[in-house]
């Protein structure tokens, strides 16, 4: 009987946490980060506010946990050693191409993540700065995979990745907030999105090919 009660208690806690996570996501989609107060989170989750403090230190830890679960880069952290090991054969070339494509698709289809990035850009939040530093530490491990290929060449792959990733973010956010095209491309259209993916992969390929020649 005690084991049954403990199992049910664990299930209840998991269900409640999931409801709180989902509430944070729903608020980010509909209201943006300004709506992430404890009362509003509890209302969206249809639970008592005290449960936020039962399962988390407070709203900030809940929000941070949600973002770490949702963010494209941080959610792959636990699998990072496996990812690195599986991509040593080509110094991460295919991985770089695929991650840029996945990042574009994931970011385009996630209004809550779009609002998270806007929050990171617009606000001086200690929590968002912490998450940004963690995201950078993950990228640093991925750059250790590509560094041997670019050593001795004039190609700065970090600078190239910075331009490509920030370009993805800008294209998606520009489309979301202005509703207009950029360089005659509509990122919401599948055909135009495929062209952007093609260009991203071409740029990565050119960088790797140039470095191979020690250009």
| Domain layout of the chain by residue ranges | 2-58, 71-212
Report the pLDDT value the prediction gives residue 20, as an integer from 0 to 100. Answer: 95
Please compute the mean of the pLDDT values over residues 104-133 and round it to a whole number.
89
C-alpha distances in Å from residue 192, one per residue of 36, 88, 96, 113: 34, 32, 21, 21
Report the pLDDT value the prediction gives residue 78, as an integer from 0 to 100. Answer: 84
Q: Are 175 and 104 in contact (CB under 8 A)?
A: no
User: Greater confidence, 4 or 58?
Assistant: 58
Q: Nearest 5°: phi and psi at 182?
A: -135, 120
Residue 1 confidence (pLDDT) above 60: no
Q: How far apart are CA 158 and CA 101, in angstroms?
A: 17
- Residue 4's pLDDT band, with cuts at 50, 70 and 90, is very low
What is the fold of 2-58?
A: Arc Repressor Mutant, subunit A (1.10.10)
Residue 167 confidence (pLDDT) above 80: yes
Report the pLDDT value the prediction gives residue 210, as an integer from 0 to 100. Answer: 96
Helix 2-30, helix 38-45: angle, nearest 10: 110
Q: How far apart are CA 53 and CA 133, in angstroms?
A: 26
Residue 22 confidence (pLDDT) above 80: yes
- Residue 158's pLDDT band, with cuts at 50, 70 and 90, is very high
- Residue 3's pLDDT band, with cuts at 50, 70 and 90, is low
Q: Are 52 and 43 in contact (CB under 8 A)?
A: no
């Amino acid at each position: 009987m005690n084991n049954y009660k403990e199992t049910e208690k664990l299930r209840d806690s998991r269900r409640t946490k999931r409801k709180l996570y989902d509430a944070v996501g729903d608020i980010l989609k509909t209201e943006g980060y300004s709506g992430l107060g404890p009362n509003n989170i509890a209302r969206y989750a249809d639970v008592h506010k005290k449960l936020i403090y039962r399962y988390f230190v407070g709203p900030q830890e809940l929000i941070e946990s949600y973002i770490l679960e949702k963010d494209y880069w941080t959610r792959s952290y636990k699998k990072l050693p496996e990812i690195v090991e599986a991509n040593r054969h080509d110094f991460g070339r295919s991985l770089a191409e695929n991650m840029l494509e996945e990042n574009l698709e994931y970011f385009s289809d996630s209004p809550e993540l779009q609002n998270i990035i806007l929050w990171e850009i617009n606000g001086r939040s200690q929590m968002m700065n912490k998450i940004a530093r963690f995201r950078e530490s993950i990228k640093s491990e991925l750059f250790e995979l590509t560094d041997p290929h670019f050593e001795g060449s004039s190609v700065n792959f970090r600078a190239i990745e910075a331009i490509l990733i920030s370009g993805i973010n800008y294209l998606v956010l520009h489309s979301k907030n202005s509703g207009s095209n950029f360089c005659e491309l509509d990122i919401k259209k599948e055909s135009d999105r495929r062209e952007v993916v093609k260009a991203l992969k071409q740029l990565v390929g050119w960088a790797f090919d140039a470095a191979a020649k020690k250009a």
